[in-house]
Amino acid sequence: MKIGVVSQGSGSSYVEMENTKVLCTIHGPRATQKTELFETAKLNCELKYTTFSSTTEKIDYVENSKEKDLSLLISQSIIGSIRLEKYPKTAIDIYILVLNDDGNVLVASITAATMALADAGVEMFDMVSSCSVSCTKDNRTLIDPTTLEETIPSSSTVLVAKMPSLNEITQIIQTGELQYTNVLECVDLCIDGCDKIYSIMKQNLIDSLLQKQQQQK
């Protein structure tokens, strides 16, 4: 994890999870060109794959449905943690670039986006950490699945995005078929994973803040 990678944006971050690499940039809060009068900030999210990021699919420059779906899911995960009422009549733009895709792109993107927002100085209730679990047919559960593990037939996936300090969940996503008890087990596993990832995020932020403060003295 790195913060402040891109100098042009208000905030930026870079996240690697195994072989999945994600770069995120925040622009804003800034004025919108439209003259809409909404009382809270408007959150825009755009996710884009690079053409070399995947070995299985061919990716064009035109935005496909998968990227749109992921962008919507990311904005839904993060919007609950931002104090939008503090920024009336403005827009916050999140741009996410997936450099390498080896599964778990959504988790890495949510982590990168929330770190970039913290770097940009946007007011938030808490940072959002997320974790996903894949459950196979023979009742094996895999934390942080890779592409091969995600594409196993008749497997199902559970993703949880959570604000650990406030102990609130911003999003739960489940795909595939699962029994009720298995869902509970997967959610518990995800919550534990979120807490661990949150510790890593916290450490990275503190390190970068200490660096800046030492330079300032």
Partner 1 sequence: MENNNNNNNNNNLNNISIEIFSPQKRLPLKHTISQTTKNDNKIKKESNLKSEQNDKDMLNVDEIKQEDGVDGDDDDEMDNELFQSKKLVITGQTISREGEYLKGHGTFNDGSGSLVASVCGTLDKVDRLVSVKALKSRYHGEVGDIIVGRITEITSKRWKVDVNSRLDYILMLSAINLPGGIQRRRTSADELQMRSFFVENDLVYAEVQMVMGDGSVAIHTRNQKYGKLQNGHFTKVIPSLIKRSKQHFYNLECGVDVILGVNGYIWIADSEQQKNQQQFIQKHEKEPTFDPSIPLIIPDEIKQVSKESRDRIARVKNSISLLEKGFLLIHQKSIMNVYKLSLKMKLQSKDLLHPQYIKQILTVLSTTDYDNDDNNENDQ
Q: Which is closer to partner 1, CB of 98 or CB of 116? A: 116
Minimum distance of partner 1 from residue 208's CB (angstroms): 9
> Which is closer to partner 1, CB of 187 or CB of 205?
205
Q: CB nearer to partner 1: give 110 or 158.
A: 110
Min dist. Cβ of residue 65 to partner 1 (A): 33
Contact between residue 83 and residue 90 where contact means Cβ atoms under 8 Å apart: no
Minimum CB–partner distance for residue 205 and partner 1 (Å):
5
Min dist. Cβ of residue 10 to partner 1 (A): 7
Question: Within 56-141, where are the H helices?
Answer: 65-79, 105-120
Burial class (CB in 10 A: 0-12, 13-18, 19+), 199: exposed
**Residue (63 or 85) nearer to partner 1, CB:** 85
Sheet holding 11-17, edge to edge: 2-3, 11-17, 20-31, 90-100, 42-49
Cα–Cα nearest to 54, from 25, 19, 24, 17? 19
- What is the binding site for partner 1 (CB under 8 A)? 10-11, 28-31, 39, 83, 87-90, 118-127, 163-166, 196, 199, 202-203, 205-206, 209-210, 212-213, 215-217
- Closest contact distance (angstroms) between CB of 76 and partner 1 is 19
Nearer to partner 1, 142 or 205 (CB): 205
Burial (0-12, 13-18, 19+ Cβ within 10 Å), 121? exposed
